[in-house]
Amino acid sequence: MTMAPTLTSDRLLLTQMTLDHIHALYPLMGSARTGYMDGPFTKRAAWYLLAADVASWTLLGFGGWAITDRNTGQLLGQIALSQPPHYPERELGWLLFEHAEGQGYAHEAAKT
């Protein structure tokens, strides 16, 4: 089974998503912040989306990471490289909690 590599930047730690991360992301996935991606999502739908990001590592060799603050360990959101069967190319997507917006975290995670 291929696992997500752990990546670090000056401020961030990108790690394999765990059940704890997925459960912590449920409120974010159920919020209006996911409207651009056909959300808000029920817990069931959020589970499928997040579990797909984890499973993609085994199936495709790439997938999603949990984004955490390197100093505090606080979960900031998630970032994923994905290519569902109906997509013609890979897509980089991210979703951050509101308190993490506007601080350059998504850009920093994407560069990492």
Residue at 38 is within a domain: yes
What pLDDT is attached to residue 2? 83
Measured in residues, the chain has a length of 112
Helix segments in 1-112, DSSP class H: 19-29, 43-60, 105-111
Number of domains in the chain: 1
Mean pLDDT per block of 10 residues along the chain (112 residues) reads 92 97 97 95 96 94 97 98 90 96 98 96
User: How wide is the angle at C-alpha 63 spanned by C-alphas 111 and 95, nearest 5°?
Assistant: 65
pLDDT at 16 (0 to 100):
96
- 28 is a domain residue: yes
Q: What is the pLDDT of residue 87?
A: 86
- Structural domain includes residue 109: no
Per-residue pLDDT, 93: 95
Q: What is the pLDDT of residue 22?
A: 96
Q: Is residue 85 part of a domain?
A: yes
- The CA R_g of the chain, rounded to the nearest whole Å, is 13
In which domain, by residue range, is 66 found? 7-103
> Rounded CA gap, 62 and 14, in Å?
13
CATH of the domain at 62: 3.40.630.30
